[in-house]
Amino acid sequence: MGVKAKIAPSMLSSDFANLASEAHRMVEFGADWLHMDIMVRPLSSKIRCRNCSFNFTLQFGWVGFLLCSCSNFYGFAFSCVGLGNTDDSVLLAQYELIKLSVFIFDGLLAVHFVPNLTIGAPVIESLRKHTKAYLDCHLMVTNPLDYVEPLGKAGASGFTFHVEVSKENWQELVQRIKSKGMKPGVAVKPGTPVEEVYPLIDSENPVEMVLVMTVEPGFGGQKFMPNTMDKVRTLRKKYPELDIEVDGGLGPSTIEMAASAGANCIVAGSSVFGAAEPAQVISLLRNSVEEAQRNS
């Protein structure tokens, strides 16, 4: 197999106050890439009265009754993020609740993809001044197109967007990512069928990496989901030369599953940063990938 093992410590588990020295430490310990998780939270949602078109803007975290200016209609609404329930089903529940009442849900002004908030282009730009390392950026946002320009300018190396939010514009995204000199990748959440990324790999202007999420995106330190390995196996069989990255819950106890399935880019946050000897974990991850490749 021609694909090289790449070990990418996830900086989400690093000490953000010392990002530059954390980056240097990881490179010295043998990291090939530095994985940078970029996520945003929603700001507010918009709701309109069916009767008089009065507009409400709900800040996230808001819960309560709505009484509109025509005073005839009211309903109960809540902003799911503030309740700590942030998955799609709750968002739908919010929508249903509003629909049942007389208000029209006009859409979120800024929609969340994951319930967390991390770093953005300014941090990438600052870090770039301290390191030449490959910055493997994983965009957990609903509007990746908006980040291509700023991240390109900031010095990102890889730009991986989620297929779930890019069905309409992935061609434009890939083209713009490449034009900014970055390597385009596409990520899939655990519940998304792998077939959804085929058109992006088979395209004339293809993505150059597929990131298979092995936990629900959002947080470090979650439990690896072994059932996501079928996707890695399927991809490796179909695309022997493709960079296949796995992200979430990877460490000494789970690497064999991912490596034997065919993953070659390994993101590892808590298992590396939480180790007494991070260099040993990085080298163990690399050895597992290389050994699995020799045995395949």
Residues 224-253 that bind Zn ion (CB under 5 A): 247
Residue 48: closest CA among 27, 79, 69, 25: 69
Contact with ligand DX5 (CB under 6 A) among 3, 6, 7, 13 = 13
Active site residue 247: yes
Instruction: Give the strand pairing for 55-59 and 103-108.
Output: unpaired
Stretch that binds ligand DX5, among 14-22, 45-53, 128-136, 263-271 (CB under 6 A): 263-271
User: Counting contacts by CB under 6 A, is residue 35 touching ligand DX5?
Assistant: yes
Q: What's CA 168's distance to the chain center, in Å?
A: 18
Contact with ligand DX5 (CB under 6 A) among 42, 155, 184, 248 = 248
Q: What's CA 289's distance to the chain center, in Å?
A: 23
Binding mask 168-197 for ligand DX5 (x = CB under 6 A): ------------------------------
Residue closer to Zn ion by CB (options 37, 105) is 37
Contact with ligand DX5 (CB under 6 A) among 42, 115, 155, 269 = 269
Helix (H) or strand (E) segment spanning residue 184: strand 183-188
Task: Supply the minimum distance, in Å, between the C-beta of residue 282 and ligand DX5.
Answer: 13
Kindly compute the dihedral angle of the four CA atoms of residues 210, 213, 214, 218, in this order, to the nearest 10 degrees: 150
Contacts of the segment 190-196: beta carbons below 8 A, 24+ positions apart: 190/214, 190/215, 190/216, 190/225, 190/227, 190/228, 192/163, 192/164, 194/230, 194/231, 194/234, 194/235, 196/163
User: Counting contacts by CB under 6 A, is residue 267 touching ligand DX5?
Assistant: yes
Binding mask 101-140 for ligand DX5 (x = CB under 6 A): -------------------------------------x--
Q: At what angle do helices 145-154 and 121-128 cross, to 10 degrees?
A: 20
User: Counting contacts by CB under 5 A, is residue 37 touching Zn ion?
Assistant: yes
Kindly list the residues in this chain that would bind Zn ion in the complex (CB under 5 A).
37, 138, 247
Residues that bind ligand DX5 (CB under 6 A): 10, 12-13, 35, 37, 138, 215, 217-222, 247-250, 267-271
